Amino acid sequence: MATLAIGSLLQNPRLSSPRGQKLLLNLKPLHSLDLDCSPHRKLLCSRGACFSNSNPCGKFHIVKASSTDTAPIDTFSSADILYEQTFPVNRIEKVEGKLLIRLDQSKEQLNWRLTIGCSLSGKWILHWGVSYVGDTGSEWDQPPKDMWPHGSIPIKDYAIETPFKKPSKDDTFHEVKIDFNPSSAIEAIHFILKDEETGASYQHKGRDFRVSLVNYLEDDGNMIHTKRSFGKWPDAVEQLPNMVLKAEASCDSKNENRRLEGFYEEQPIVKEVSVGNMVNVAIRKFPDAANIVLHLETDIPGDVVVHWGVCRDDAKTWEISAVPYPPETTVFRNKALRTLLQPTGNGSRALFTLDEKLDGFLFVLKLDANSWVNFQGNDFYIPLSSARSVKGQSDSESEETSGKAHTDGIINEIRNLVSGLNSEKSLQTKVKEAKESILNEIEKLAAEAYSIFRSSTPSYPEEDSDADDAEPTINISSGTGSGFEILCQGFNWESNKSGRWYMELKEKASEISSLGFTVIWLPPPTESVSPEGYLPKDLYNLNSRYGTIDELKDLVKSLHGVGLKVLGDVVLNHRCAHYQNQNGVWNIFGGRLNWDDRAVVGDDPHFQGRGNKSSGDNFHAAPNIDHSQDFVRKDLIEWLCWLREEIGYDGWRLDFVRGFWGGYVKDYLDASEPYFAVGEYWDSLSYTYGEMDHNQDAHRQRIVDWINATNGTAGAFDVTTKGILHSALERREYWRLSDQKGKPPGVVGWWPSRAVTFIENHDTGSTQGHWRFPGGKEMQGYAYILTHPGTPAVFYDHIVSHHRSEIGALISLRNRNKIHCRSIVEIVKAERDVYAATIDDRVAMKIGPGYYEPPSGPQRWSLALEGYDYKVWEASS
């Protein structure tokens, strides 16, 4: 498991390349740079292959550094300084501490006290509740009021939250003390540890911790053994353990009385904190030398490997540079080079001697098998041709020349693509998807050319209106994006609690973007009866528990600045009323959309609407809106278009779309023209005698029918795939992941371009836990959805958990291999204990404890990622 997750942060948002294209670095003059060479070090293991002075399995060979052609360090002062650029980067560092649990009796011998402590700094919250003797299921209840520690607040009717406090200002740990009467009917205390600073939750395999107070008569191997008191806490070396806490108890089997015995338990806990670093790239030219020298330096601690190559044209095809190479350089797959940076006092660095006729230098930084620094999942690209054109020119002249040179190359690429699209042979052979792919590529190139044009015309920085008039229109398939989207759910069920979620998320925008996400889904923005936003009232009032309308605008602007598209969560099925009718029923609305009871469906007895019958399933907590009414559709269309223009949303997550006909959704999307849209169509899968059926065609057909009703203008969450993954992983029945025709068994197997795959969200997980993914198997789920077609969605809680590094590595692998929503899956194994597949002949994967290795042959495979019960390989030619 990776211990670091690194993401590159864009220093100047205006220079970001649209929709995940490679970053073009606009370099600035370098005035001085102190350079030094340090002794060689042993190379580190990365991605399953070891860099060393041996040749393991023929995967690598060592290239000796040449001292005759390498730029001399002591003559750098005589070199012409061309450009320098410094890039801020964020890495995630793990801080280790202790979670402490103690149960003991009060001095008065009347009550008992449960003390939960944490040795790590931070704003810690205990989210907790109780269960009673005789309860069934896994639901919590709020504890009695006399158990509430000072400062506790209620969470609905099932839990409370209590802030941790230091016993005194000199103490090094935080704690919560809970007093209770042992004669009460409480059977257990349940809790989750939450870090308010990061939003992370610490649980037991995705479930709550449980301190049981009764009915444990024998030591079943999981008892917590008693210690006398808190002591000094040594540093922990592992992540939060898989544990269930149980209080020791004893009683006579013929007597209902119980006798508690105290215990004290220490367990390791790990918190991930963001640490800022930098990567500096500089280019120099020596007098009378045919080569240029690129200097790369970083203050990231530890071993850092540069995975690099060069290119000769704007296609940016990786090639191996000619010698000389820096010390400790290896050849990787005959396509690239890897160089271990040499240590300095504050980091590490390397010098690269390059032919000045080359067009570009491409690289990423690898820290270990699963962590690297790149630009939003793509390679850094240094345009060497731009550096050449600078010599003898002023800064503004060089930027203009390099921008023109690069845009000329892009224009030529567009011309070639258009020629290929319109040629007679192409028209006869290319399928619709291939043509769409070419058009998407043209759009990306055009946007990139325009971005360079904007950044290379410094004479008119203020003339935004003229520039906006010149901006080309980019026609994306409305509602379905480009096909390469990776969605991040940017909140959980508790995000509204602080009242400033928009500002908290703004601080994380660059980190989220650097993981490789392209789209982020924000919570419902409207005034709402429920703080989470899903019982909207005044649709035009965007001051919510997540923040103000101005803070929302600021957040969306920041997310756009780091290259993310933004989805608004819109609740169109129902709306809470402002007033009662003459019968005392709440069905009269206020605000800008002051509808009367004609806007409410007529077949919901709870709200006595005068509209037509519902076109879907009723949601009984609020009046269901009658979308067949012309005035309702007109008002909702105006509202969606207002959100697009006023807030800047790029698309929609549509709540509870089971409640109304998909044809109305088509009207809304045709009018608001979202970049991407996805509907929540969630109903129960098929079961027989409590066991999930293998054939879930009826379930996925209902979702596909809804997508069809929208005329394909929106996708839908692939609830079918989530449910099947539950049974496959929980019951070790991986054969379920292939349908009767050998295809994926969810929506992704029938209509992958409209399937948004996921394993968890704010309803199924978080503190609601309505349908929590099997604990400890989350990464198997992500290994499946992030390598398969469809549009994968990642839940916020998992991004800020210890899964972050592995998720980031899978996203980068997906981007690197250009897996998209229509990628081709070949299932090669679906058995009791293992599922394996290849995707686009570029990626092979397996999940489950069973054995699978991709076969050797014309297609050579190398292990790219590995975790608990999953592996992923990449193809090499």
Task: Judge whether 332 and 325 are in contact, CB under 8 Å.
Answer: no
Rounded Cα distance, 133 and 127, in Å: 21
CB 536 within 8 A of CB 592: no
Q: Could you tell me what percent of the chain has a pLDDT over 70? A: 73
Residue 718 has pLDDT above 80, yes or no: yes
Count of Cβ atoms closer than 10 Å to residue 143 Cβ: 21
The whole-number pLDDT of residue 452 equals 46
CA dist 186 and 260 (Å) reads: 13
Residue that the structure tokens 């649709």 belong to: 539
Do residues 754 and 703 make contact, with C-beta atoms less than 8 angstroms apart?
Answer: no
Residue 736 has pLDDT above 90, yes or no: yes
Q: Would you tell me how many other CB atoms lie within 10 Å of the CB of residue 419?
A: 10
Residues 381 and 363: their CA atoms lie apart, in Å, by 7
Q: Please identify which of the residues 265, 443, 655, 778 carries the catalytic annotation.
A: 655
Catalytic residue selected from 368, 485, 680, 760: 680
pLDDT in tens, 188-199: 899 988 887 766
Beta strand 23-24 with 380-383 is: parallel
Q: Could you tell me whether strands 259-261 and 248-250 are parallel, antiparallel, or unpaired per DSSP bridges?
A: antiparallel
pLDDT tens digits for 292-325?
999 999 999 989 999 999 998 877 888 999 999 9
Residue 22 clears pLDDT 90, i.e. is over it: no
Q: How confident is the model at residue 839 (pLDDT cuts 50, 70, 90)?
A: very high
Region 65-74: mean pLDDT is 40
Q: Which of 869, 779, 800, 868 is nearest to 202 (CA)?
A: 800
Q: Amino acid letter at 82?
A: L
Residue owning tokens 């002023």: 394
Collapse the DSSP code of 51 into the 3-class scheme (helix H, G, I; strand E, B; otherwise coil) and give the result: coil
Instruction: Give the residue among 53, 49, 48, 50 at the shortest CA–CA distance from 63.
Output: 53
pLDDT at 436 over 90: no
What is the C-alpha to C-alpha distance for residues 189 and 114, in angstroms, rounded to an integer?
9
Tell me the C-alpha distance between 109 and 587, whole Å.
56
For the ranges 429-438, 496-505, 561-570, 700-709, the lowest mean pLDDT is seen at: 429-438
Give the separation between CA 13 and CA 558, rounded to whole angstroms.
Answer: 9
pLDDT digits (tens, 9 = 90+) for 480-501: 789 999 999 999 999 999 999 9
Q: Which residues contact 26 (CB under 8 A, 6 or more apart)?
A: 12, 15, 85, 399, 455
Query: CB-side exposure of 489: number of CA atoms within 13 Å?
Result: 28
Torsion, Cα 418 420 421 422, to 10 degrees, reads 90
More confident residue, 428 or 597: 597
pLDDT in tens, 564-586: 999 999 999 999 999 999 999 99
533 has a pLDDT exceeding 80: yes
If one compares 436 and 873, the residue with the highest pLDDT of the two is 873
Q: How would residue 257 be classed by pLDDT, with cut points 50, 70 and 90?
A: very low
Higher per-residue confidence, 266 vs 549: 549
Q: Which string of DSSP letters, residue by residue, matches 66-114?
A: PTTTSPPGGGGGGSEEEEEEEEEEEEEEEEEEEEEEEEEE-TTSS-EEE
112-118 vs 174-180, strand pairing mode? antiparallel
- State the burial class of residue 179 (Cβ atoms within 10 Å of its Cβ: 0-12, 13-18, 19+): middle
Percent of the chain whose predicted confidence (pLDDT) is above 90: 51
Q: What are phi and psi of 780, to 5 degrees?
A: -65, -40
740-772 pLDDT, tens digit per residue, is 999 999 999 999 999 999 999 999 999 888 899
Closest CA to 69 of 284, 292, 360, 280: 292
* Model confidence at 706: pLDDT above 80: yes
Structure confidence at residue 422 (pLDDT): 47
Q: What average pLDDT does this structure show over 688-703?
A: 90
Average pLDDT, the chain: 78
pLDDT in tens, 373-415: 776 556 788 888 766 655 444 444 444 444 444 455 555 556 5
Identify the band that residue 440 occupies on the pLDDT scale cut at 50, 70 and 90.
low
Q: Is 680 a known active-site residue?
A: yes
